[in-house]
Amino acid sequence: MADQIAQKETLQDAPATHHPHIPHITHLTRIPPAQKRDDTGHQEDVKYAHLLAKEESDIPPGYFRSVRFLGTMISMSLTVVSSYFGFAVPASVLTYINLDIGPSQNASLFVIVWTMCNAISLLITGRLSDKFGRRYFLLFAGALAVIGGIVACTAKTMNTLIGANVIIGMASGVHSSQSLFTGELIPHRHKFIGIMLILIPMVTSTGLAAYIGRALVETRSWRWIYYIYIMIVGSGWVIQIVMYHPASFVQLHGGYRSKAEEFKRVDHFGLLFLISGLTLFLLGVSWGGNPQPWTSDKILSLIITGGVTLIIFGVYEAYTSSPNPMVDLTLFKDIRGYLCLNIVSMAAGAMYIALSVIWPQQVFLVYSPSTSEWQSQAWMSTTIGWGIWGGIVLLFPLVNIVKHVRRQILGLLILSVIFTAALSQVGPGDKKQANAFSFLTALPIGWLETGTTIIVQLDAADADVGMVYAILSSLRSISGATFTAVFTAILNSKVKSGIASQVPIAAMAAGLPEASLPALFGAIAAQSTAAFAAVPGFTLEVEAAVSSALVEAYSSAFKYVYYTALAIGSVAIIAAAFLKDYDPLMTGHLPKQVYAYVTNKKKPDKMDTTAFEVTQE
């Protein structure tokens, strides 16, 4: 990316006045002059990004063991854990929550609004925090998260809980960007190890999410999910208030520009098009099929309007004269770098969704009938989460040992596709194989999903790393939401045809009168014991035959979801084969640091040089 959009040139337009103790920069990475965004302001931003950047060897001894650095890392770990805990755990027991404070036809919006708000918040945060500083984005997100948690744990209706999830989703978009916030504070060569250490506690939000949710429902109350959420995010928030002091607005711009002046440089129209388009499109693809049919006017209007708005956004970004576009489309000219990496990331996101959303349904519909204990069902549902977590904790430490990052990505994609193919072939009686293959499929995806967000930072210009990161992460979220709809549509279609072809034959063979078939199909749709009991001729033999036929129909339907995931994975393999070599970028370069608290907000000619220095505490 940077090697195509950036080049070393003399910064001719830099301000003539600079602090006498701050070295004058004569050679800086900058955007080619042909791009409209390369105005004097952008050149100044690049200048101060270079001033803030260090080499690992230049950092004072003890900095990485200092209270402010370790406190920042601990706070990031707590908030990123909370961001997924506050979604994955309640989502795993949403049926029980809906029974308690519902029932509501809008229950599906619980997942939809979080996904939508997370993607929008993430993209906005990445770009704007490049220019205004990251500290107050995180502090505001912490406040939002606590408020959202309080609203959620006191909710009396599903609509209130959905509203709380809007707030929590907006906060999660910031907190789930920890790879960005912590990545810029860790030297390139240590990013994988550093982020792995931060994500170790994530097991509570991934591997244990389904079990924790069900255990709290069975032994306490689902409201305890949000009590725990508030404790986790609140602790991280307080630590960040005290410890997290990244580059300030003055440090980012050298004091030559006010916040009001920087606000004028924001891509306001691009931001409006982006938020509008994403909101409409994600609502459409997420709401389609359940609860609204795909052919309904509401869903079609949402998808079409959202899609057209996003197209307008893309055209606008291509021709805008804004110095700070929300999405710099020239990044995608780096075909073997940024473009291929985005394809890999989007595919990983789609495959992750296929597993995270589809696998628990498969456990419930295919394997639960043979399992009576809720604990066994809950543990089986966690294999995907354990695989994702294992991919980070077990494989990240090997990155610097194995090296050849491009080959690692290619190999991991191939392994994921192989085990996805194996998972597509397991049947109702293959529970052990299903557990193993689901874990092994998710293992490489855990690396790919988070690893791509690290790799993209290696090749990004320090002044715009937030935008580069946010585009990749948001496209992955959009891909995940889109393929959630695709996978669900495929599953529902195949389940419907499978039931229609297999259940009548099995039921009538067991003695059910043909005239009772309409009532039987109604009972299957209602999933009600009373409805089945009301079916004329529904004996124990018929019940056993219908149950077995339903399991077979569900099992066959899930295969087609995995077939689709295989096609997506194959596209990613092709992209990975053309990826460029990232090994030369695994250096000691350190874009930013955690600084001692700086209250001086004067211009550089009067500014203390500690604004650009890391001092040992």
The pLDDT mean for the chain works out to: 84
Q: Is the peptide bond before 291 cis (omega within 30 degrees of 0)?
A: yes
Please state, in angstroms and as integers, the Cα–Cα distance from residue 478 to each residue in 112, 444, 449, following that order.
12, 21, 14
Of the listed ranges 76-85, 135-144, 360-369, 588-597, the least confidently predicted one is 360-369
Task: Specify the DSSP element, H or E, that contains 7.
Answer: strand 7-10
Determine the pLDDT at residue 18.
39
| Interacting residues of 397 by C-beta distance below 8 A, sequence separation 6+ | 192, 193, 196
Q: Are strands 54-55 and 27-30 parallel, antiparallel or unpaired?
A: unpaired
Q: In this structure, are residues 256 and 451 in contact, taking their beta carbons and an 8 Å threshold?
A: no
Q: In this structure, are residues 616 and 63 in contact, taking their beta carbons and an 8 Å threshold?
A: yes
Determine the pLDDT at residue 524.
83
How far apart CA 495 and CA 504 sit, in angstroms, is 14
How far apart CA 482 and CA 487 sit, in angstroms, is 9
The arithmetic mean of pLDDT across residues 359-388, rounded, is: 80
Helices (H) then strands (E): counts for the chain: 25, 4
Angle ∠(390,395,397) on CA atoms, nearest 5: 120
Q: In this structure, are residues 450 and 344 in contact, taking their beta carbons and an 8 Å threshold?
A: no
Q: What is the DSSP letter of 12?
A: T
On the question of pLDDT at 9 being above 50, the answer is no
Q: Is the peptide bond before 60 cis (omega within 30 degrees of 0)?
A: no
Kindly report, residue by residue over 106-165, the tens digit of the pLDDT.
Answer: 777 888 888 888 888 988 999 899 999 999 999 999 999 999 999 999 999 989 999 999
Kindly report, residue by residue over 294-331, the tens digit of the pLDDT.
Answer: 888 888 999 999 999 999 999 998 888 888 888 888 89
SS3 470: helix
Q: Where are the alpha helices (DSSP H) in 220-290?
A: 223-243, 249-253, 259-264, 268-287
Kindly report, residue by residue over 233-269, the tens digit of the pLDDT.
Answer: 999 999 999 999 999 899 988 877 889 988 989 888 9
Determine the pLDDT at residue 610.
44
Task: Specify the DSSP element, H or E, that contains 9.
Answer: strand 7-10
Q: How confident is the model at residue 410 (pLDDT cuts 50, 70, 90)?
A: very high
Determine the pLDDT at residue 291.
65
SS3 18: coil
> Which among 173, 148, 274 is positioned nearest to 477, based on CA atoms?
173
- Dig out the tokens for 110 from the structure: 């619980």
Kindly report, residue by residue over 483-528, the tens digit of the pLDDT.
Answer: 877 888 888 888 888 888 888 888 888 888 888 888 888 888 777 7
Q: How confident is the model at residue 3 (pLDDT cuts 50, 70, 90)?
A: very low
On the question of pLDDT at 275 being above 50, the answer is yes
Residue type, 303: I
Q: Are strands 589-590 and 7-10 parallel, antiparallel or unpaired?
A: unpaired
Please state, in angstroms and as integers, the Cα–Cα distance from residue 158 to each residue in 98, 100, 112, 161, following that order.
7, 9, 14, 5
The arithmetic mean of pLDDT across residues 174-179, rounded, is: 91
Residue type, 409: I
Of the listed ranges 27-41, 413-427, 441-455, 547-561, the least confidently predicted one is 27-41
